[in-house]
Amino acid sequence: MSDGAPLDGLRVLEISSFVASPLCGLTLAQLGAEVIRIDPIGGAGDQHRWPLAPSGTSIYWTGLNKSKKSVTLNFRDPEGQRLVADLVAASGPGGGIVVTNAVGRPWLGYDQLAKVRPDVIHLQILGHHDGRPAVDYTINAGLGFPMITGPEGHLGPVNHVLPAWDVACGLYAAIGVLSAERHRRSTGEGRRITLALEDVALAVAGHLGFLAEAQLTGADRPRIGNHLYGGFARDFATADGERVMVATVTGRHFADLAAATGLTGTFAELERLLGADFAVDGDRYQHREVIASLLAPWFAGRDLGQVALGLAGTSVLWSRYRQFTDVVADLVAGGADDGGADDGSTDDGSTDDGSTDGNGPGHGGLAGNSMLHEVDQPGVGPVLAAASPLEQDGRLEPAPASRLGADTADVLAGLLGLSAPQLRDLAERGVTG
């Protein structure tokens, strides 16, 4: 970045575990904040969470703790608790920021920390808004998403492997910290912030219309497999055993798909017979099965390369279904033969001139992406790591996660001025890791 990192001078103390809270710290660290993760000696509950590297090191933990410093303290020892308060008080004008998902620890709460630093910004992530514990899977189950996910006719719930609410919660938390820090800069006042995982999920469900739909119709949304609710998008099999996802979120997308597959006349006659207009989202959705049945032979009669050629130069949104191993191979080798045109569409379906990205059948956006770098992660070895997705005149390169507790002495000496004998004494007495 040409003018320094956006969050230079910000110092955050993170006492956390699992996804949402560490993701908040990671998001801030990747924009230049100094983030110090403080764990109990031996690590928190996520220290050995899968997936693991062949060495046994958690690449989940190292992935979420890139670019942070690591301190370990004995949280059960009053002296360890006091050191946390001292770090809050001594962390300078850009410091005094605490992010945590720990509950039931009064010494880590806003009220106690505000006594040592009145302008403290304290963000606590909860499960439910009333303080009851929860995780992404239980929140998702309680909101109803697993009951509308999966193939048509399936009776049981289908959980999703992506912890969507944890991710959204972590990003909301980062926004909360930055909004409170801006308020503090103008007023000198700190902030107590609470953020419940349940509230994040409930808010998103409301924003996307799921709640209003149920309220107004009194009906549950049906399971529709890989179709797009309210429009036309679906997966198709190709002649060489691949599968592609094809999405038409505007009338232009659908018209281009019809032209590319030679079905413009067929669809026009179908519209006449059905009294439908396939430029309209709802009509494409209502007649999705017959539309898909007409399109399926075109894809089934072509291999992936031929599909890519047939859709090249169109506005049609499509991609081959890939495994993570395919993605990594693409990143390492510099491109895979898996299709996907880019018409400049935004996520609401608006388009620019419909030109392709110039990469032909390759998935050109991955290879050479400036967000991705190889870092030498202690305990793991060389591994791909992502910088911030926010590109602001460049990006800070990702740094590996510190080994657990590796920065304890440096942080305590640098922020609290502890001497080498004092640090040895704390370590020998089990106060620090």
Active site residues: 166
Q: Tell me if residue 126 falls in helix, strand or coil.
A: strand
Written as one letter, the residue type at 134 is A
User: How far apart (Å, rounded) are the C-alpha atoms in residues 220 and 133?
Assistant: 27
Give the C-alpha distances (Å, rounded to integers) separating 413 from 20, 37, 130, 376. Answer: 29, 16, 39, 26
User: What DSSP designation does 66 have?
Assistant: B
What is d(CA 159, CA 126) in angstroms, rounded to the nearest whole number?
Answer: 21
How many angstroms separate the CA atoms of 79 and 100, rounded?
A: 19
In the sheet that holds 243-248, the strands lie side by side as 232-237, 243-248, 317-320
Dist CA 393 CA 390 (whole Å): 10
DSSP string, 286-324: HTHHHHHHHHHHHHHTS-HHHHHHHHTTS--EEEE---H
